[in-house]
Structure 1
Amino acid sequence: MTSKGAQFGGWLDDFEEHLSVELGRSPNTVEAYLGDLKTYGDWLAKHGHSPLTATPNVIRAYLSYRGQDWCPTCRTTLDRTEAKGGLCVRCASTVRAGASQRSVARGLSALRGFYKYCVASNRLQDDPTELVNAKAAARRLPKSLSRREIEDILCQPDTKKPAGVRDRAMLEVAYGSGLRVTELISLRLTDLEFEEGFIRCRGKGGKERLVPLGKQAQKWVVKYMEQGRPVHSRRHNEPALFLTQQGSSMTRQRFGQCVKRYAASAGIEAAKVSPHVFRHSFATHLLEGDADLRAVQAMLGHVHISTTEIYTHVDRKRLRRVYDRYHPRA
């Protein structure tokens, strides 16, 4: 490793501490930022550049590279004319799709944060990202499932088995509360406040909020507490609510696998379903039922109302279909 490479590595370690300790960013956010920055550092090293001396033009070239398709056989980037139907026109190998516009925007956000930190801590004099203008990240409409699809997935776990009862309870809570997957797996026994019909969760930045939970979800959590959790618990004082069969706290990856497995068994394309789709469906179905936008914002834990408003666009699509179908002059 070159001296500049070692220096960059040291600065990344300091930046990681800055993100987690000083700014209080979540572990997932820190991991994503560091991953983007390491990818950036690797690309620069391959092209004879250093993060410590990178210019705006170099950063633009990197962002352009991130968005391009890549052929692993030819080991080169491809434009649209060279990648048709997901195959390289040169060698017919499967093409690795370039990063989405949203991912590229997140990568630039990581670079901005890093260089801003370097200038503020007197490591660098200038921030090269100040002169880089990225296209606004496309604000894609969140994917959601229909009520029927949700019901079909909820019915898939084998509730004659402890793991099945746990999975049914987790799916019910995911759809019944709109929690982020990290919030869901982080629930503790002490977070249940069923007398009032709420659960307590810790969102981004460690902020706590109370979220209503319906009777169906409560019923399955109680059933899991009686029939599932005692079978999996290995420690008397284990605080986590949802446990694996080995007695450890459920992980994001394992729950994600469960969701996809149950979607597939319900006849729904697994690639389109993730734990976060349950959160999107929760918000979409509330707004379809004329729920107050501010109330949905509070339940989702969104800091800005504009984040919640994206779900109104999904509902508008439904209203447009109704209008087109029934209005005589549509």
Structure 2
Amino acid sequence: MPNQSKPKWLRDFLIYLTAIKGKSKRTRDEYDYDLTLFFRFLYAVQEDLPTTDLASISIAELDIAFVRNISLEDMYLFLAYCEEVRQNSAATRARKVATLKSFFKYLKTKKQLIDDNPAEDLETPKINKKQPVYLKVPEAKQFLSHIPSKTHYYRDYCMMTFLLNLGLRATELCRLSIGDVADRYVTIVGKGGKERSVYMNDSCVEALALYLEHERKELADKNENEALFLSQKGNRLTRQRLAKIVKQINEASALHKTNLTPHKLRHTSATMMYQNGADIRSLQQILGHSNIATTQIYTHVEDETIKQVFENNPLNNMEK
């Protein structure tokens, strides 16, 4: 729960995010961080205090009158501070804009604590779109063939197979429980608690069967845990541990991919599905995206593929 060192109207908003909007604790903590920084910054500016030590500023006594006096210009001043002083990227500042928009909309439409929403016309910084980093098929095969763990080979191989074949988020993989698997389908709980059912291909079915037979029974004896993927002590694996496992396999495989993460394996899975015929709507459903614009980043086509399209044009190299 949000701590008591914050004003009630801020604590209420943070509770609303999880209790009503279904946001994860991680997302709520990000909103909490952004808003706390925002109010500390504005208080420092108003009181002519240095902005070099905002962490020492308490916002517990700020009242709703302070919020009502906030203007659009105050927000742009805050974003400029984040860019110039804190060296925040456009993506990080865009997240702060989203936080401010959500917070002030809540105050106006849900709580009726303010008459005007100063964030209504707040613009989002332009973010240069980056092509998602992913493994090519030979690299993915090389990655899977170099699982270094002797103790947890079957577990790690199954997890990597799930990431590369089902396109799961790291959190989704770690949240899987035994009861989520039925026949050839696995039930995924995604962002906002939304469920989706994903079909398991032969590779996933075989990898899971080997893991259940050779490892999970022994791990489960140490702790009656319903989690599908267990640690050495029989506890549910964490995202942090999963990231370390991916890093270890990356090193063992000699791929040496820069900053290879579970999320980049998700990119790999999505890219391979798209390149092998999955349409954008099907891909959206498989990946659990609420907005199809998010899915569209996976529809990139490599330069060589594009060149081949032109080369294969039936009107190319016609006899004159």
Give the TM-score of the pair, scaled to structure 2: 0.82
Alignment map for 1:209-288 (pairs within 5 Å): 209-234=196-221, 237-269=224-256, 271-288=258-275
Inter-CA distance 268–54: structure 2 relative to 1 (3 Å threshold): farther
Alignment CA distance shift 1:212-1:54 (3 Å) = same
Aligned twin of 2:133: 143
2:154 aligned with 1:158: no
Which residue identity does 1:32 align to in structure 2? E
1:186-237 deviations in whole A, cap 9, x for unaligned?
Answer: 10101112x3x22111112212111112212222222111222223225564
TM-aligned CA deviation for residue 321 of structure 1 = 4.2
Q: Select which of 46, 53, 58 maps to 2:74.
A: 58
**Structure 2 unaligned residues grouped into runs of 5+:** 48-61
Note if 1:208 corresponds to 2:224. Answer: no
Take 1:186 and 1:246, find their aligned partners in 2: how far apart are those partners?
Answer: 17
Q: How does 1:74-113 map to 2 (within 5 A)?
A: 77=85, 98-113=87-102
User: Structure 1 residue 130 and structure 2 residue 116: aligned?
Assistant: no
Residues 42-57 of structure 1: matches in 2 within 5 Å? 42-48=40-46, 52=67, 53-57=69-73
Which residue is 1:91 aligned to?
A: none
Shift of 1:148: 1.8
Residues 110-142 of structure 1 deviation map (CA, whole Å, 9 limit, x = unaligned): 011111112231333332212322334333322
Deviation of 1:281 (Å): 0.8
1:315 aligns with 2:301: yes
Root mean square deviation, CA, Å: 2.6
Aligned-residue offset at 1:318? 4.7
Q: Is the 8 A contact 2:18 2:28 kept in 1?
A: yes
Post-superposition CA distance 1:37-77 (Å, at most 9, x none): 22323333443467723322121121122233xxxxxxxx3
**Distance apart, 1:311 and its partner CA:** 1.5
Structure 1 pair 116–244 and aligned structure 2 pair: CA distance change class (3 A): same
Match of 2:83 among 67, 83, 91: 67
The SS at the match of 1:99 is coil
Superposed CA deviations along residues 229-254 of structure 1, whole A, max 9, x for unmatched, are 22322556411101111211111111
- Give the TM-score normalised by structure 1: 0.80
TM-aligned CA distance change 1:54 to 1:64, over 3 Å = same
- Note the residue ranges of structure 1 that are not aligned, 5 or more in a row: 1-5, 69-76, 78-95
Look up the equivalent residue of 2:269 and give its one-letter code: F
Contact 1:185–1:252, Cα closer than 8 Å, also in 2: yes
SS at match of 1:129: coil
Kindly provide the amino acid, as one letter, of the partner of residue 272 in structure 1.
Answer: N
Q: Is the 8 A contact 1:169 1:221 kept in 2?
A: yes
Q: Within the alignment, does 1:32 sit opposite 2:63 as a pair?
A: no
Change in Cα spacing, 1:291 to 1:131, as seen in structure 2 (3 Å) is: closer
Tell me the equivalent position of 1:184: 173
Q: Which residue of 2 aligns with 1:89?
A: none
Q: Cα 1:237–1:131, aligned 2, differ >3 Å: closer, same or farther?
A: same
Instruction: Tell me the equivalent position of 1:87.
Output: none
Residue 42 of structure 1 aligns with an amino acid whose one-letter code is R
Equivalent-residue separation in structure 2 for 1:253 and 1:271 (angstroms): 17
Moved more, 118-127 or 9-18: 118-127
In the superposition, relative to structure 1, how do residues 227 and 7 fare at CA in structure 2: closer, same or farther (>3 Å)? closer
* 2:196 counterpart letter in structure 1: R
Distance 2:255 2:178 in 1: 32
Task: State the shift of 1:184 in Å.
Answer: 0.6
Q: CA deviation at 1:108?
A: 0.5
Q: Could you tell me how far apart the structure 1 residues matched to 2:33 and 2:220 are?
A: 34
Alpha-carbon distance in 2 for matches of 1:270, 1:244: 26
- Once residues 7 and 245 of structure 2 are traced to their aligned partners in structure 1, the CA distance between those partners, rounded to angstroms, is 37
The counterpart of 1:119, out of the listed 108, 112, 137, is 108
Shift of 1:317: 4.2
> Shift of the alpha carbon at 1:160?
3.5
**Contact 1:202–1:208 (CA<8 Å) still a contact in 2?**
yes
Residues 55 and 144 (structure 1), Cα distance of their counterparts in 2 relative to 1, 3 Å cut: same
